[in-house]
Amino acid sequence: MSRAWLPSPDLLRQIAQLLLRVGLAALFGVWIGHPWPLVTLTLLLSLIVHLRYLTRLRSWLNAPKQIELPIAEGIWGEVYDGLLNLQKRNRKRKRKLAAILAEFQASTEALPDGAVVLGPNGEIVWFNTAAQALLGLRVQQDIGLRIANLVRKPAFTEYFSRDDYSGEVECDSPINSETMLSFRIIPYGNGQRLMIVRDVSDLRRLETARRDFVANASHELRTPLTVLRGYLDVMEPETRKGGTLHDWASPMSEMRAQAARMEALINDLLKLARLEANIINTRQDLLDVPKMLARTQEQARTMSKGQHRIEFEIEPDLRLYGRDSETQSVFTNLVSNAVQYTPPGGIIGVRWWGDDSGAHFSVADTGIGIAEKDLPRLTERFYRVDTGRSRATGGTGLGLSIVKHALEHLDGKLSIESEVGVGTTFTCSFPVHRVHHGNQRNDLRAPMG
């Protein structure tokens, strides 16, 4: 028989005591000639005692702070002692939890960033002083209200309503349009979320100042560079055989090459500055991507000079909503990089195709490849995997950074797969709302979603 079906020792002891009392009452009743009334009276008194202890227990459970448990013997005494010990442990646990909560609140109060605890439905449960200052929250009025009703910004509303909180979103403060805030939501527990709010206004102002400086400096450099290239063009005929500057032919050629490289660098800096300005143009043209890639193919073959096998696979009816200059810069930079970093005899494959997830553009080469540690930094400005080789090919170090920012304007994503000595594949993916097929109506404006 299982031990779960056996009576406990305490129950056996209580039964034994009850039988002993009933037995003594029966013996005494036989002696006086009335056994059953005494047995009945004994059982009734035992029942009254148990009911009294049970009633006190119920009263104590309803108001444990106002009513004390009586001193009892036997099984009721053990029950009372167990409940009192459980009450002490619970009080100790509550004090510990209260101390942890107080420490958490004190630490979050010291944070310069705002912290808001949200319930399962997005209602505000708690917030610190920084959140109160950044969002204009009020303790008495806003606790229990949904955060989406208080922060009415389209970017935040879209970010809050989705299930993926892996990134961040920036928008101006609901109480001060000149303050730029960054929102990050972290899910935890049973449907709860922690929202971190950070003031990034100074950082954005510094980025704007840096971007303006680069743009202004690039514009200022254009004038002396134009003058320099003009003189070099005038002097170039004299460097030919029989000319007065024939002995300077090699230095002049190098100066012309470096001036052309400087001009390319300035053009890339200005293009990057325009992209980083993040000026959203609501008008999006319907781009004839196959025609644009045909131009890119001709440029690639000109750069290659027949040293590579270049293969283009293009879906002829697949187009894209966007801006011509930005999209063309994506295609040109990725293909030119493949030509520059693929040794002679290598293969470069370019694809443009669509599927249920959108449209994709990929450039695969059999070039030198890129180490895994360098992949996360490839889109940084002026980052070079191999400085010597990059300078030898005439690269500016800005191509992939331009691709990154142009894709952001096109709602696209860039993925890179590479292996040293094997080759590299760059893939650009564009969402469905940017894609247009040949059998669709030719709108001149992209669906803004």
Pick the CATH number of 203-276 from 3.30.70.870, 1.10.287.130, 3.30.1490.20, 1.10.150.530: 1.10.287.130
pLDDT in tens, the chain (449 residues): 445 555 566 667 777 777 777 777 777 777 777 778 777 877 787 777 778 878 877 887 888 777 777 777 777 777 777 888 888 888 888 888 888 777 776 766 667 788 888 988 889 988 888 888 888 888 778 888 998 888 888 888 888 888 778 788 888 888 888 888 999 998 887 888 889 999 888 888 887 777 777 777 777 777 787 888 887 887 888 777 777 777 787 888 888 878 877 777 777 777 667 666 655 454 578 899 999 999 999 999 998 888 999 999 999 999 998 888 888 889 998 998 889 888 998 999 999 999 988 999 999 998 888 888 888 887 777 666 665 554 555 556 677 888 888 888 888 899 999 888 888 999 999 999 888 887 554 444 444 33
CATH architecture of 285-437: 2-Layer Sandwich (3.30)
pTM of the model: 0.53
CATH topology of domain 111-199: Beta-Lactamase (3.30.450)
In contact, 95 and 82? CB cutoff 8 Å: no
Q: CATH 1.10.287.130 spans which residues of the chain?
A: 203-276
CATH 3.30.565.10 domain span(s) along the chain: 285-437
Per DSSP, the residues of 189-218 read TTTEEEEEEEE-HHHHHHHHHHHHHHHHHH
Q: How far is CA 311 from CA 114, 267, 352, 422, in A?
A: 53, 29, 12, 18
What is the H or E stretch that residue 154 is in?
A: helix 154-161
- Provide the total of helices (H) and of strands (E) in the chain, helices listed first: 13, 13
Where, residue-wise, is CATH 3.30.450.20 in the chain? 111-199
Q: How far apart are CA 191 and CA 116, in angstroms?
A: 14
DSSP H or E run through 290: helix 289-304
Q: Name 155's Cβ contacts closer than 8 Å, sequence gap at least 6.
A: 169, 170, 171
